C-alpha cells in the first residue's frame, strides 16, 4: 500500500487530496495543528473511527515551524509521497504577519526537504510543494507572447506571502538539482470550492450572496473589484497534484484554466445564481452594486437595494492586479483535463452556501436540526 503524508490536511486542498488518495487506496497521514477548538471540520467525514483496524487516515499533531516534530513524523510514516500544502495562505494577512509567514511558508518547506534527506529517504520519497501564481506578481511585461504566465515566466512577488513562497519554490528546485530528489513545484493559480476559507474573496462573495438572498444580511463590503484572477475548482487541482508525483520526471508545472475574470464579474455571476441582476454604479471607493431585477420568487430582494460597497480597508499595500496561467504543459504532458469551468464553480459554491445559510436561517427562526439535516 502506498503511503502519503499531507501537511495542511485540514485546509481546503488537503481535505480534497486526502479524499482522492484514500479512494486510490493509499494510507494517508496528515499533520494537524493543536488548536483550542476542533479544526478538522473539512476531514471529519473521512475520519469516522480512529480505532477501527482498517482506518487508513492517521492524524499527527505538528507544525511546519518545528523541525524535530516533522522529522519524527516523517521517520514514523516512511512516506512514498509528501504533499506540502501547509501554509499561512492569506495574502492580505501576510502583510500583518510577515515574519511568521517567512518561517512557515518559506523555511517550513526547507524543513520537510531536509528531514527527508537526513533520514536517507531521498530515493524513496517524492515531494510536492504547493507553489503559487502569487510568485508572478501580475506584472504585465512578464507574460509570455500569448499573454499568459507559464513555467518560464519571471517571478516578481508582491507580498510577504509571495516572497516566502518564492523561497519554497527555489529550495525545492535546489534540492532536486543538488540531491537528485523527486521534488516538484505545482505553480497553482487560484482554486476555490465550497470548502474555501470564508475570508478569501470568492467564498466571501458566495456566502454573502446566499445570506442576502435569504434576508440574513443586508450587504457585503469588498476591496478591489477590478482585480482579475484565473479561478479553477480545487477538486481539479488536487488531482493534478497527484499526477505531478506520478510523472516519469520531477519537474515544475503551471496549473490554471487560461481564463481571467474580475472580482466584480464574480459578484455578478453569484447573484445571477439566485436570479438577481445587479447594476454597478460609481467608481473606485464609491462604487456600489444595486439590485436591478429579481427574477426568483423564492428570494424577494427589493429593486434598488444596495447590496455591495467598497471598503478600502480590504485594499492591499501592494496588489497583484491580474493573473492568467497557461496550463498547456500539464495538459499535453500529463493529460490533465479539468472537469469544472468558472460557471460550474460558481454554481457549486452557491448551491452549497444556500444550503448552509438555509440551515442558519432555520436555526435563527427557532428551529432545531441535527448537523446533517440540510446536507
For binding to ligand G4F (CB under 6 A), which residues are involved? 89, 91-92, 132-134, 189-190, 199-201, 204, 222-224, 227, 229, 263, 314, 316, 319, 323
Please state the closest distance from residue 104 (CB atom) to ligand NAP, in A: 4
- Report residue 356 CA to chain centroid gap: 20
- Give the chain as a 3 state SS string: CCEEEEECCCCHHHHHHHHHHHHCCCEEEEEECCCCCCCCCCCHHHCCCCCCCCCCEEEEECCCCCHHHHHHHHHHHCCCEEEECCCCCCHHHHCCCHHHHHHHHHHHHHHHHHHHHHCCCCCCCEEEEEEEHHHCCCCHHHCCCCCCECCCCCCCCCCHHHHHHHHHHHHHHHHHHHHCCCEEEEEECCEECCCCCCCCHHHHHHHHHHHHHCCCCCCEEECCCCCEECCEEHHHHHHHHHHHHHCCCCCCEEECCCCCEEHHHHHHHHHHCCCEEEEEECCHHHCEEEEEEECCCCCCCCCCCEEEEECHHHCCCCCCCECCECCHHHHHHHCCCCCCCHHHHHHHHHHHHHHHHHHHHHHHCCCCCCCCCCC
Which one among 63, 81, 252, 273 touches ligand NAP, defined by CB under 6 A?
A: 63
Residue 26 or 340 having the CB closest to ligand G4F: 340
| Residue window 335-374: x/- pattern of binding to ligand NAP, with contact defined by CB under 6 A | ----------------------------------------
Of residues 7, 10, 81, 134, which has the active-site annotation?
A: 134
> By CB neighbour count within 10 A (0-12 exposed, 13-18 middle, 19+ buried), where does 198 fall?
exposed
Out of 3, 4, 5, 8, which residue is the one contacting ligand NAP (CB under 6 A)?
A: 8
For ligand G4F, which residue has the nearest CB? 227
The terminus-to-terminus CA distance of the chain in angstroms comes to: 33
Residue count at the site for ligand NAP (CB under 6 A)? 26
Q: Which of 3, 4, 5, 13 is in the footprint of ligand NAP by CB under 6 A? A: 13
CB of 331 to ligand NAP, least distance (A): 18
161: annotated active-site residue:
yes
Q: Which stretch binds ligand NAP (CB under 6 A): 29-37, 48-56, 69-77, 257-265?
A: 29-37
Which residue, 60 or 211, is less far from ligand G4F as judged by CB? 211
Shortest CA distance to 164 belongs to which of 215, 220, 102, 239? Answer: 102
109 binds ligand NAP (CB under 6 A): no
Q: Of the candidates 230, 257, 259, 191, which has an alpha carbon nearest to the alpha carbon of residue 323?
A: 230
Partner whose binding site includes residue 33, from ligand NAP, ligand G4F, none (CB under 5 to 8 Å by kind): ligand NAP
- Smaller CB distance to ligand G4F: residue 30 or 137? 137
Binders of ligand NAP in range 124-153 (CB under 6 A): 130, 132
* Residue 373 bears catalytic tag: no
User: Which positions from 159 through 198 interact with ligand NAP, judged by CB under 6 A?
Assistant: 188, 190-191, 197
Residue 222 site contact among ligand G4F, ligand NAP, none (CB < 5 to 8 Å, cut-off depends on kind): ligand G4F
Q: Which is nearer to ligand NAP, 107 or 216 (CB)?
A: 107
How far apart CA 16 and CA 290 sit, in angstroms, is 36
Q: Between 62 and 278, name the residue whose CB sits nearer to ligand NAP.
A: 62
CB of 175 to ligand NAP, least distance (A): 17
Q: Which is nearer to ligand NAP, 266 or 299 (CB)?
A: 266
**Residue 303: all three cell numbers together:** 429593486
Q: Is 134 a catalytic residue?
A: yes
Considering 125, 132, 202, 257, which one is annotated as catalytic? 132
Report the nearest approach of ligand G4F to the CB of residue 308 (Å).
10
Residues that bind ligand NAP (CB under 6 A): 7-8, 10-14, 31, 33, 35, 39, 63-65, 85-89, 104, 130, 132, 188, 190-191, 197
Q: What amino acid positions are annotated as catalytic residues? A: 132, 134, 161
Amino acid at each position: 500500500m502506498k503511503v502519503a503524508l499531507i501537511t495542511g490536511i485540514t485546509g481546503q486542498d488537503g481535505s480534497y487530496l486526502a479524499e482522492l488518495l484514500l479512494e486510490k487506496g493509499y494510507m494517508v497521514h496528515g499533520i494537524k495543528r493543536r488548536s483550542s477548538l476542533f479544526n478538522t471540520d473539512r476531514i471529519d467525514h473521512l475520519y469516522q473511527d480512529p480505532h477501527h483496524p482498517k482506518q487508513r487516515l492517521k492524524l499527527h499533531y505538528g507544525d511546519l515551524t518545528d523541525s524535530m516534530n516533522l522529522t519524527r513524523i516523517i521517520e514514523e510514516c516512511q512516506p512514498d509521497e509528501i504533499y506540502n500544502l501547509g501554509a499561512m495562505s492569506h495574502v492580505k494577512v501576510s502583510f500583518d504577519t510577515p515574519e511568521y509567514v517567512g518561517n512557515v511558508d518559506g523555511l517550513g518547506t526547507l524543513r520537510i526537504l531536509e528531514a527527508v534527506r537526513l533520514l536517507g529517504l531521498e530515493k524513496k520519497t517524492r515531494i510536492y510543494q504547493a507553489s503559487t501564481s502569487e510568485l508572478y506578481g501580475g506584472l504585465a511585461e512578464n507574460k509570455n507572447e500569448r499573454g499568459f504566465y507559464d513555467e518560464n515566466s519571471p517571478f516578481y512577488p508582491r507580498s510577504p506571502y509571495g516572497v516566502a513562497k518564492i523561497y519554497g519554490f527555489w529550495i525545492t528546485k535546489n534540492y532536486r538539482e543538488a540531491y537528485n530528489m523527486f521534488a516538484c513545484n505545482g505553480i497553482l493559480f487560484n482554486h476555490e470550492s465550497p470548502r474555501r476559507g470564508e475570508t478569501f474573496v470568492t467564498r466571501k462573495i458566495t456566502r454573502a450572496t446566499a445570506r442576502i438572498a435569504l434576508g440574513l444580511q443586508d450587504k457585503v463590503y469588498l476591496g478591489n473589484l477590478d482585480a482579475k484572477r484565473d479561478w479553477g475548482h480545487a477538486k481539479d487541482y488536487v488531482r493534478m497534484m497527484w499526477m505531478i508525483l506520478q510523472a516519469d520526471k520531477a519537474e515544475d508545472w503551471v496549473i490554471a484554466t487560461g481564463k481571467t475574470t474580475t472580482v466584480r464579474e464574480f459578484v455578478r455571476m453569484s447573484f445571477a445564481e439566485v436570479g438577481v441582476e445587479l447594476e454597478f454604479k460609481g467608481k473606485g471607493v464609491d462604487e456600489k452594486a444595486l439590485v436591478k431585477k429579481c427574477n426568483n420568487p423564492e428570494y424577494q430582494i427589493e429593486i434598488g437595494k444596495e447590496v455591495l460597497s467598497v471598503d478600502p480597508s480590504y485594499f492591499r499595500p501592494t496588489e497583484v492586479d491580474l493573473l492568467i496561467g497557461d496550463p498547456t504543459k500539464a495538459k499535453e504532458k500529463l493529460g490533465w483535463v479539468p472537469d469544472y469551468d468558472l460557471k460550474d464553480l460558481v454554481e457549486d459554491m452557491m448551491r452549497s452556501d444556500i444550503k448552509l445559510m438555509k440551515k442558519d436561517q432555520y436555526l435563527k427562526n427557532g428551529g432545531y436540526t441535527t448537523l446533517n439535516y440540510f446536507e
